[in-house]
């Protein structure tokens, strides 16, 4: 009963015990009845009943906790809490996802950290399942999934799979987006007007933005509006990333036509303090934005660390000094 298994010898012994007990009850019924009616038997029966009830309560609580689990993160830094974006993605999963955690006992603390993180994912969605596989014990399976390093995670959905070499939350969530997305959206970033460069990894460049978008399953491509009269049909969104010269009217009309077809445009315009060009203004996009109820001002917002006050000022040197003063 304890181990959940049986053997031939154990079955024979159990059968003989049942038969012997039955013979005893048949031959000595008065002793059996007397024992049942005794005070000691009543006390023993009450104790047995309390034990049975207690065990039943434990089983019921365990069953309910399995069906309706709830987790709390009591750490001050919310170390074990998933980001809202991750929670939303898990909530909207349509197809089952299996996370194959190729981790051996040699992984040590990293194995435990990954397992804890994956438990958070699994607790958020019943469509997210986890399997821990020891690549040393199952090398054939590891080779089948192209796993070369201990601690690698592979997300599988149908015939699609994505490998995660560094199982952090951001990497796992990015892989989750990729493995569940049927198509790869294309993001176009305008060029030719001094916009932020997608290849510049400096503080003013967008190389990090590009890497983040590609990590989340987007394709990022440059768009030279001067050489085309239409935005490509596969564009998921067009980003105007801080032009330093005004965009010509013809190119603005190209964006206008794209928006009329249901397109999406994200506009980011630097202030003249950043560009040192007070003639830049609205970068030639003022009329287009006004059609969508947006007014673009050449303003600044200052937030002081020790104050809740916010100040705005036009981007001129004098008004900036006045604001700070």
What's the mean pLDDT in 161-190? Answer: 86
Nearest partner of 86 among 56, 114, 128, judged by Cα: 128
Rounded Cα–Cα distance for residues 212 and 217 (Å): 9
Q: How confident is the model at residue 222 (pLDDT cuts 50, 70, 90)?
A: very high
pTM: 0.52
From residue 83, give the alpha-carbon distance in Å to each of 80, 94, 98, 121: 10, 20, 20, 11
Torsion (CA) 137, 142, 148, 151 in degrees, nearest 10: -70
φ, ψ at 72 (rounded to 5°): -125, 135
Q: Render pLDDT for 24-76 as a digit per residue (tens, 0 to 9).
A: 888 888 877 777 667 776 777 777 788 888 888 988 887 776 666 666 666 66
Place of tokens 């048949």: 26
Output the CA torsion sign for 123, 128, 129, 133: negative
Taking the C-alpha atoms of residue 132 and residue 130, their distance in angstroms, rounded to an integer, is: 7
pLDDT tens-digit readout, 62-119: 777 666 666 666 666 666 678 888 888 898 888 899 999 998 877 766 677 888 888 8
pLDDT digits (tens, 9 = 90+) for 255-298: 999 999 999 999 988 776 665 555 566 788 888 999 999 888 77
């Amino acid at each position: 009963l304890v181990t959940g298994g049986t053997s031939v010898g154990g079955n024979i012994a159990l059968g003989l015990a049942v038969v012997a007990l039955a013979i005893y009850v048949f031959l000595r019924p008065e002793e059996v009845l007397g024992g049942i009616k005794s005070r000691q038997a009543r006390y023993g029966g009450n104790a047995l009943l309390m034990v049975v009830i207690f065990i039943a309560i434990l089983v019921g609580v365990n069953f309910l906790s399995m069906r309706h689990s709830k987790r709390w993160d009591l750490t001050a830094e919310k170390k074990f809490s998933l980001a809202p974006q991750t929670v939303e993605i898990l909530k909207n999963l349509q197809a089952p996802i299996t996370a194959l955690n190729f981790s051996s006992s040699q992984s040590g603390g990293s194995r435990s950290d990954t397992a804890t993180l994956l438990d958070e994912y699994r607790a958020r969605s019943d469509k997210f399942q986890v399997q821990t596989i020891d690549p040393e014990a199952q090398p054939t399976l590891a080779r089948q999934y192209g796993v070369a390093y201990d601690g690698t995670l592979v997300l599988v959905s149908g015939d699609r799979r994505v490998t995660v070499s560094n199982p952090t939350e951001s990497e796992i969530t990015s892989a989750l987006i990729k493995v569940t997305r049927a198509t790869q959206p294309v993001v176009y970033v305008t060029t030719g007007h001094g916009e932020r460069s997608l290849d510049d990894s400096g503080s003013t460049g967008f190389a990090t933005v590009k890497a983040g978008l590609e990590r989340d399953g987007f394709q990022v491509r440059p768009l030279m509006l001067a050489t085309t009269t239409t935005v490509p049909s596969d564009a998921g969104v067009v980003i105007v990333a801080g032009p330093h010269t005004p965009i010509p009217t013809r190119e603005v009309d190209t964006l206008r036509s794209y928006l009329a077809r249901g397109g999406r445009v994200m506009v980011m315009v630097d202030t003249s303090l950043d560009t040192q060009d007070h003639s830049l203004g609205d970068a030639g996009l003022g009329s287009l934005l006004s059609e969508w109820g947006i007014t673009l001002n050449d303003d600044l917002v200052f937030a002081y660390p020790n104050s809740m006050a916010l100040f705005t000022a036009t981007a001129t040197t004098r008004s900036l000094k006045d604001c700070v003063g």
